[in-house]
Amino acid sequence: MGMTAPQVVVHRDKELMAQATAARLITKIVDAQTARGTASVVLTGGRNGNGLLAALAAAPARDAIDWSRLDLWWGDERYVPADDPERNHTQAREALLDAVPVDPARVHVMPASDGPYGGDVDAAAAAYAAELAKAAGPEDHGPVPTFDVLMLGVGPDTHVASLFPEHPAARETERTVVGVHGAPKPPPTRISLTLPAIRAAREVWLLAAGEDKAGAVSLALGGAGEVQAPAAAAYGRSRTLWLLDRAAAAKLPTGMYPPASS
């Protein structure tokens, strides 16, 4: 599958970015449910991911979604105990999931360090890969479902999910989920989707807001290599969307994106 050229959308500030992206996501989920009966979305943590979920919780149009027919997955997770406030799942529950009628069986949480795999993060990653493979159908042509939307926050170092520059997980070409050891950002032990799993999505949305992200955005969109800048290697089958605020877009050439519509 070839790389889709990235589209860049720039909003005035991070609040407007979150609200506009929430509206965009609602439309995408409703369209997928109308077309196929169900939808699947991969969530991301971090300040932009959680800001988006909070905006989604506050959006009146959220009720247009049939929450019982939505599968939710995660792009990565901190391998810490299940009740740790730093877990992406914990933060997603607080921001959105506890407020909407999701089917618990369709919320695919990555294992925690106090779960059945204990300290063996590689076994936990393999279990999540197996869950993805079980959910994939013949039409998906691979070991993961064809996600409708996969969202990723972009780190100041260009990391996405828990794929860090020059780190072994960023070089993985076969497995769909890996245990991450020695991550440069705490906690050091994590679970992450790999680039092959990310690229199975119909659409990949990369979120970045704030001036501390401007260098990473410029590097990733400026032709950097995928091991040096993992965000540059994250793209969807049919669409790759970079959703930014003005501060994060500050180092991009203005010809790279249309004037902000909002």
3-state secondary structure 93-112: HHHCHHHCCCCHHHECCCCC
Tokens of 89: 């799942």
Dist. CA 127–CA 177, nearest whole Å: 9
Tokens of 68: 């019982």
Q: 260 falls in which pLDDT band (50, 70, 90)?
A: low
| pLDDT at 1 > cutoff 90 | no
Note the pLDDT of residue 261.
46
Residue 213, φ and ψ in degrees, nearest 5: -100, -5
Note the pLDDT of residue 262.
46
Dist. CA 207–CA 152, nearest whole Å: 6
Q: 3 falls in which pLDDT band (50, 70, 90)?
A: confident
156: buried, middle or exposed (CB in 10 Å: 19+, 13-18, 0-12)?
middle
Per-residue pLDDT of 76-116, as tens digits, reads: 999 999 999 999 999 999 999 999 999 999 999 999 999 99
Q: How far is CA 142 from CA 59, 70, 199, 252, in A?
A: 34, 20, 11, 35
pTM: 0.96
The DSSP secondary-structure symbol of 237 reads S
Note the pLDDT of residue 31.
98
Note the pLDDT of residue 156.
97
Mean pLDDT of all residues in the chain? 95
C-alpha of 114 from chain center: 24
Q: How far is CA 188 from CA 79, 164, 181, in A?
A: 8, 11, 6
Note the pLDDT of residue 138.
86
Q: Which has more confidence, 39 or 258?
A: 39
Share of the chain above pLDDT 90, in %: 90
Dist. CA 124–CA 190, nearest whole Å: 10
Per-residue pLDDT of 131-166, as tens digits, reads: 999 999 888 888 999 999 999 999 999 999 999 999
Contact 107, 67 (CB under 8 A): no
